[in-house]
Amino acid sequence: MNLFPPDTTNSGNPPARAKRPGKPQDTAEAPAPGVASVTQLIDKLSDYLTPAELKKVREAYRFSDEMHLGQVRKSGEPYISHPIAVAEICAEWKLDAQAIMAALLHDVIEDQDVKKEELIERFGAPVANLVDGLSKLEKIEFQSLVEAQAENFRKMLLAMASDVRVILIKLADRLHNMRTLGVMVPAKKRRIAGETMEVYVPIAHRLGLNNIYRELQDLAFSHLYPLRYRTLTKAVKSARGNRREVVKKILESVKQTLAMAGIQAEVYGREKTLFGIYKKMRNKHLSFSQVLDVYGFRVVVDNIPNCYVALGTLHGLYKPMPGKFKDYIAIRKINGYQSLHTTLIGPYGTPVEFQIRTQDMHRTAESGVAAHWLYKTGDQNMSDLQQRTHAWLQSLLDIQQQTGDSAEFLEHVKVDLFPDSVYVFTPKSKIIALPRGATALDFAYSIHTGIGDHCVAVKINNETQPLRTELHNGDIVEIVTDPDSRPSPTWLSYVRTGKARSAIRHHLRTVNVNESVELGQDLLAQALAARGIPAELPASTIERVLAESSAKSMDELYADIGIGKRMPALVARHIFGLMEGADDALPSSSQPLSGDIDPVTIYGSEGVSVQLAPCCLPIPGDGIVGQLRRDQGLVVHTADCLPAKRLRAKEPDRWIAVQWGEELNRRFDCRIRLLINNEKGILARVAAEIGESDGNITYVGMDEDDENMMTQLRFTIQVKDRVHLAHLIRNLRRVAGVNRVERERA
């Protein structure tokens, strides 16, 4: 689906920048019914802007009116009605004069070819920067439409990272376009509605703009599935009359009960959106009547203590449903939302959902960051919502610095726009919100990129766990770092957040280039030797290889092979084809060889371009094979590893011969399993014996076997080689209380 189709509200080519005789006046033309007018806009702005600011807004309007003179929308209205409508939506949020001016001018760069320098001269740099952030990059030629759309989205988000008003104006622009989408042909309606649902709805939700979020959802739904929308609309209107008596009875009971408890509260029914009903029916396979059988109410009180008093009062009125209470006041949602949620069994046995909140919480729930100005950075008492939003916007800048292209940037950011979150704690009780499914490694990168890069272990609820462990609500997470640790390509397989993924890829691309080049050179030399071709290729062949592979240099080609992006056997086959019959005739010994090809030598100190497979943890002395994995380089398995055998049967071309080097100056991880008597002091004796045998323990796990009154110990230890491991296992078998010792395999 296209992310940024052409602007559909503009009819035809923009006119030349003709000037209207005389000055355009605020009330020069009477607006058509339902069309926004500048008079209405000025009336709204007069409530909170100064006369000097209103004067600047009028100047921006006159300039925009002049630039859009003669231009009309598909509906036939003067085009200027659209910028005025966008400015009116912004005025409802009480945005400042600069934002209102930018809303009025938001299309003049894109549609009328007005230069940014001219806007700076007329209206100042802040307004010009806002308009520029809202303008698409249609003047730049991209390789594809998808790349252009991704670049537009990237530019908008980066402008938003420096000033959140950019996205607020953009959302107002999109909202008005969606409200007036009816005049478009069905194909364009679906395309724009799909883009709205995929991109703008999640952004509105992420920023806590719930009113905009809900309206955009319903508008997009109406154009994506018009028949379903009409059917649900008719059904809801019909059901509303039948529900009136129950709603009235619940309202009266709740108001009376809260008043008797001395709680001043506003209580009113909460309507489900049509898309919310449709989504619940589809995802939970419920009928329309089942979804509508749940009644929703909102209780707004004056302070936080009364939220909990009201909760207790309601629980006394109706019986609560077990497991249906959520406290979003103590642990707020990632977008700043706060409320108490509870579901009770109301009259006639119907479920009744209540949201209980304060006035401030209600304002934030409806308007999100629009209720608390993020760009007033001079205020030292920045709200928690502002800080959270500011941190997320700044993370966009971090991702941009680490990302190679716009499409990759878009991939990373869209991951973070999904609303489902888990909330975990640092050891100092700070709450960190992460996307659902995030791992301990995502947590490390959310704290700081440097912590993620040097992460070696994690404690979750005071227990050591693997970095790939998925986090759950309420977990207390502590990261252990080592300055010598570096990111591994395998991390990409289980991180969830865009920030973590982009940071790991950035490290693998930059820090390990030389390492990947060397490995790729060895792998290609081996593949060429298998076809009887010397590693030193003629200059003409190199030139043709680079031209046909789109690589800029042989080092880039080697690096791609080293990280698994290109298969050495396929590259060698291509080179063989180029050299057959060419001027650089193949040497007489160019027949494919079978058995006497030198394996790639593994020393164990290559870094992240070569990894020892975690499933079998090979050590020197084991027979080994190598697997080339995309974006992960060379993964070394033991020859008898069962997972490796299954993978080799599926992709035999990705496997190569490898061997251990002669001089290995490091230790290697290995897993062992012991069956021991469950008696006092046994763990201390085993650990002491491992130390005396020159082994180093990096992990200990324990499983009890109640039937046999025995305990199974699991250790990950570091040894020099297979001989060292055999010596250590013999010594452990002599420890009193140890019944069995064996090396653990996948």
> pLDDT-based confidence at 726, cuts 50/70/90?
very high
pLDDT at residue 382 in the model: 45
The residue among 607 and 543 whose pLDDT is bigger is 543
Token pair recorded at residue 465: 């766990």
pLDDT tens digits along 466-514: 888 888 877 889 999 888 888 877 787 788 887 888 788 777 766 667 7
pLDDT at residue 309 in the model: 92
Question: 502-519 in b/e burial notation, b at 16+ Cβ within 10 A?
Answer: bbbbbbbeeebbebbbeb
Average of pLDDT values for 71-92? 88
Inform me whether the pLDDT recorded for 288 exceeds 80. no
CA dihedral for 675, 676, 678, 683, sign (positive or negative): negative
CA angle (24 as vertex; 22, 27 as ends), nearest 5: 135
pLDDT tens digits along 340-359: 999 898 887 778 889 999 98
Inform me whether the pLDDT recorded for 728 exceeds 90. yes
Residue with the two structure tokens 């700044």: 394
pLDDT at residue 397 in the model: 52
In Å, what is the CA distance from 321 to each residue of 9, 64, 276? 49, 56, 22
CA dihedral for 257, 261, 262, 267, sign (positive or negative): negative
Residue with the two structure tokens 């719930």: 210
Q: Give the other-Cβ count within 10 Å of 195's Cβ.
A: 20
Of residues 571, 578, 592, 568, the one with CA closest to residue 538: 578
pLDDT at residue 161 in the model: 55
Of residues 504, 455, 503, the one with CA closest to residue 478: 455
Q: Which of 107, 111, 416, 442 is catalytic?
A: 111
Active site includes 663? Answer: no
Average of pLDDT values for 103-132? 85
pLDDT at residue 379 in the model: 43
pLDDT at residue 301 in the model: 92
Q: What are phi and psi of 608, to 5 degrees?
A: -80, -15
Average of pLDDT values for 661-689? 86
Average of pLDDT values for 193-213? 79
> pLDDT-based confidence at 564, cuts 50/70/90?
low
pLDDT at residue 461 in the model: 85
Average of pLDDT values for 735-744? 90
Q: Which of 107, 110, 408, 442 is catalytic?
A: 110
Of residues 541, 427, 437, the one with CA closest to residue 479: 427
The residue among 580 and 497 whose pLDDT is bigger is 497
User: First CA to last CA across the chain, in angstroms?
Assistant: 42
* Helix ranges, 353-464 (H): 359-367, 384-402, 406-415, 440-447, 449-453
Q: How far apart are CA 587 and CA 580, in angstroms?
A: 10
pLDDT tens digits along 179-191: 998 888 888 888 8
Q: How far apart are CA 360 and CA 358, in angstroms?
A: 5
Mean pLDDT for the chain overall? 76
Average of pLDDT values for 290-299? 76
> pLDDT-based confidence at 241, cuts 50/70/90?
low
> pLDDT-based confidence at 378, cuts 50/70/90?
very low
Of 48-62, 600-614, 668-682, 709-723, least confident by mean pLDDT is 600-614
Token pair recorded at residue 41: 């806009």
Of residues 66, 173, 177, 148, the one with CA closest to residue 112: 66
Strand partners, 624: 638
3-state secondary structure of 311: helix
Average of pLDDT values for 610-632? 82
Inform me whether the pLDDT recorded for 586 exceeds 70. no
Strand partners, 421: 435
pLDDT tens digits along 133-146: 777 533 333 334 45
CA angle (224 as vertex; 221, 227 as ends), nearest 5: 85
User: 137: number of CA atoms within 13 Å, CB side?
Assistant: 17
How far from chain centre, in Å, is Cα 152?
A: 18
Angle between helices 125-134 and 116-123 (to 10 degrees): 140
The residue among 307 and 543 whose pLDDT is bigger is 307
Identify the burial level of 146 via C-beta atoms within 10 angstroms of its C-beta, where 0-12 means exposed, 13-18 middle and 19 or more buried: middle
> pLDDT-based confidence at 588, cuts 50/70/90?
very low
pLDDT tens digits along 385-397: 555 555 555 555 5
Share of the chain above pLDDT 90, in %: 14
Q: How far apart are CA 656 and CA 213, in angstroms?
A: 53
Inform me whether the pLDDT recorded for 698 exceeds 80. yes
DSSP string, 604-671: S-S-TTEEE-TTT---BTB-EEEEEETTTEEEEEETT-HHHHHHHHH-GGGEEEEEE-S---S-EEEE
Active site includes 110? Answer: yes
Average of pLDDT values for 415-441? 72
Q: Give the other-Cβ count within 10 Å of 492's Cβ.
A: 16
Share of the chain above pLDDT 70, in %: 75
Q: Give the other-Cβ count within 10 Å of 101's Cβ.
A: 30
pLDDT tens digits along 527-545: 787 777 887 888 888 887 7
> pLDDT-based confidence at 462, cuts 50/70/90?
confident
> pLDDT-based confidence at 418, cuts 50/70/90?
very low
- Whole-prediction pTM: 0.48
Q: What are phi and psi of 498, to 5 degrees?
A: -65, -35
Question: 678-710 in b/e burial notation, b at 16+ Cβ within 10 A?
Answer: eeeebbebbeebbeebebeeeeeeeeeeeeeeb
Identify the burial level of 587 via C-beta atoms within 10 angstroms of its C-beta, where 0-12 means exposed, 13-18 middle and 19 or more buried: exposed
DSSP state of 196: I
Inform me whether the pLDDT recorded for 444 exceeds 90. yes
Identify the burial level of 72 via C-beta atoms within 10 angstroms of its C-beta, where 0-12 means exposed, 13-18 middle and 19 or more buried: middle
Domains of the chain: 38-224 (1.10.3210.10), 236-369 (3.30.460.10), 386-510 (3.10.20.30), 599-666 (no CATH), 668-743 (3.30.70.260)
Q: How far apart are CA 566 and CA 331, in angstroms?
A: 47
Find the length of the chain: 746
Strands (DSSP E) contained in 165-316 are: 266-269, 295-301
Token pair recorded at residue 351: 């479920």
Q: How far apart are CA 644 and CA 489, in angstroms?
A: 18
Q: How far apart are CA 244 and CA 522, in angstroms?
A: 77
**Residue 152 near residue 166 (C-beta atoms within 8 A):** no
Inform me whether the pLDDT recorded for 662 exceeds 60. yes
